[in-house]
Amino acid sequence: MGMDTGDTAWVLASSALVLFMTPGLALFYGGMVRAKNVLGTLMHSVFAMGLMSILWVLVGYTIAFGPDAFGGLFGKLDFLGFSGVSSDAAHPAGLGATIPHSLFALFQMMFAIITPALIAGAFAERIKFSGYIAFISLWLLFVYAPVAHWVWHPEGWLFKLGALDFAGGTVVHINAGIAALAAILVIGKRKGFGKEAFVPHNLTLTILGAGILWFGWFGFNAGSALGASGLAVSAFLATNLGAAAGACGWAIAEARKDRKATTLGVASGAVAGLVAITPAAGFVGPMGAIAIGLIAGVVCSWAVGLKFRLGYDDSLDVVGVHLVGGLTGALATGIFATAAISGLDPAAGNGLIAGGGFTLLGKQAIAVGATLAFSMMLSLAIAKLVDVTIGLRVSEEEELSGLDLTQHSEVGYALSDGSGLSISHAESAPAPVHSGATVTAAVHVPQGGEA
């Protein structure tokens, strides 16, 4: 099978859509933090676009998609520095058989950019920038790339097992979600967590970011068909329905609990639906997509409250949405998948409802369990290593002053007279030399937020 210009054009466009998601994530996260931390939060996503791109070319790609080594655990270093990654031929293992190898590697680069950036929402408002850089760099190479090899390389052990992950339920969302939990267990809680309200400073930015994520997710999921095909159309439709149902499910859950649906809740529900439909997008029909989105919206709405009951400080609900949403979607794939959509052999592609019994569901559970265990252990080790060497957390004084000033010597908002605006607590130390106003905020905010 030779190169196809239509397939190439679609995957090129999808690559751009997936990259666009990372600035969307920056806005989504940035609006939910306090004003004194908005630039620091934006920086986590924007800088990942640069650093992860370079690391992916140097060594990340070959670990994930190089020729198999050690029984499906990770790839050899044949593609080190993109050596042998050609624009004239497809991947030698048949990945994206109708598009250039270099385009497949580029498309996967965009996933490698946004996945570490997702983790940043969990420890927003208290992480040292240098510690963040070290953590995500090591995590990309030692956690993300091996899991991608397990699941998406034809010789990966989970791929050969028959576990299904169309666009990243295990590789991206469960992987990032459990890593986020590991990191916040090491870094600790924000000062005042559980005692005072941390008010989102600009939900307009968050809604804009959610819209960009929804738009870019069509490239994320439909692009994973790796061609302009009927499968891409099916994944595109499932993606939209998953997001739509997720938004509705979260709104219903909020209305039942508080008699009001919030904009933050609807935005978070849409993202939860997108997360959950990601592993299933190429395997389920429209009704299955709606069911998965609705379930995710309700379940993730409930899950974000776990941090208050269990006492971990997940700033922007990465665990509640990405981990729980990813788990929901990965397991639901084993229930709602149908070979009529995916084109797989019925023995491998039919879930419980389509008559496949519990076989596929069992394989999905194995993939989920393996990803959880591996990512949790390695992420904890990386976080502790960084913490004892570079340090993960800013000082208490820096946390109170805000990451914008202390980590980047900037302020997010300039007033009409040119001065900067930074919001902090009354007990904070005197503001740094930069011109700016220090404002005390003490208001309550409805439970919500997402990562």
More confident residue, 408 or 419: 408
Q: What tokens does 165 get?
A: 């992950």
Q: In the prediction, which pLDDT does 1 show?
A: 66
Q: Count each helix (H run) and each strand (E run) in the chain, helices first.
A: 20, 5
Average pLDDT of span 203-214: 98
In angstroms, the CA 127 to CA 45 distance is 14
Q: In the prediction, which pLDDT does 421 show?
A: 53
**For residues 302, 303, 309 and 315, what is the CA-based torsion angle, rounded to 10 degrees?**
-120
In angstroms, the CA 285 to CA 415 distance is 51
Average pLDDT of span 205-215: 98
Phi, psi of 124 (to 5 degrees): -60, 150
Q: What tokens does 322 get?
A: 């990405």
Whether 161 has a pLDDT exceeding 90, the answer reads yes
In the predicted model, what is the mean pLDDT of the chain?
92
The letter for the amino acid at 449 is G
Residues 6+ away with beta carbon under 8 Å from 381:
none
3-class secondary structure per residue, 172-240: HHHHHHHHHHHHHHHHCCCCCCCCCCCCCCCHHHHHHHHHHHHHHHHHHHHHHHCCCCHHHHHHHHHHH
3-state DSSP call for residue 56? helix
pLDDT in tens, 46-103: 999 999 999 999 999 999 999 999 999 999 999 999 999 999 999 999 999 999 999 9
pLDDT in tens, 263-295: 999 999 999 999 999 999 999 999 999 999 999
Domain ranges for the chain, please list them: 10-74+99-389
Q: In the prediction, which pLDDT does 420 show?
A: 52
In angstroms, the CA 48 to CA 22 distance is 9
Is 0.85 topped by the overall pTM?
yes
Q: In the prediction, which pLDDT does 194 show?
A: 84
pLDDT in tens, 101-116: 999 999 999 999 999 9
In angstroms, the CA 163 to CA 172 distance is 15
Q: State the CB neighbour count (10 A cutoff) for residue 424.
A: 22
Domain 10-74+99-389 bears CATH identifier 3.10.20.30: no
How remote is the C-alpha of 239 from its chain's centroid? 15
